Amino acid sequence: PSSLDVHYRLVEILASQRRYDRAVELAATIVYLEEDKAAGYRTRGYLYLELEDFEAAALDLGRAIDLDPQNAGLKVNYARALIGLDDPVSALDVLDDVLALDVGVAEAHFLKARAHKMLGRVDDAVLALKAAQARDDGDLSPQIASLQKDLR
């Protein structure tokens, strides 16, 4: 395996052990070595999300989106970072882009519900949450239930 493959594997192992600080350090090397810069920034951005370093996550995920603008998954996670930065308006813009690419992304609908709730738009939040619930395969069920409770 190449040095890059080894770094990816180590990042994966460290992340599975929730050793995100160390994984971020190795991910910096991936960003440097990776020819596909979007993949490198995506990897490090996801780790920053786990650390709840939303500013760093938004920066790396934004760079990855610049290089791979049609990637809905990147945009969903970028919106998560924006919500973490208390910027629901920007998050809603990004999520609208995601849903224009693929209306079936349950997490995008769920994050829209969170953003609308942050803005005090309860009716919009309820509609977005219903859309998330209709598209969820079960992965978001606990989060959906929690947000439903908050909206009551």
Give the mean pLDDT of 46-53.
Answer: 96
Q: Looking at residue 20, what is its pLDDT? A: 94
Q: What is the pLDDT of residues 97-135, one digit of tens each?
A: 999 999 999 999 999 999 999 999 999 999 999 999 999
**pTM of the model as a whole:** 0.90
Contacts 24+ apart (CB under 8 A), 43-51: 43/8, 43/11, 45/74, 45/77, 45/78, 45/81, 46/77, 47/11, 47/15, 47/20, 47/23, 48/24, 48/81, 49/77, 49/80, 49/81, 49/84, 50/15, 50/18, 50/20, 51/20, 51/21, 51/24
Q: Looking at residue 69, what is its pLDDT? A: 94
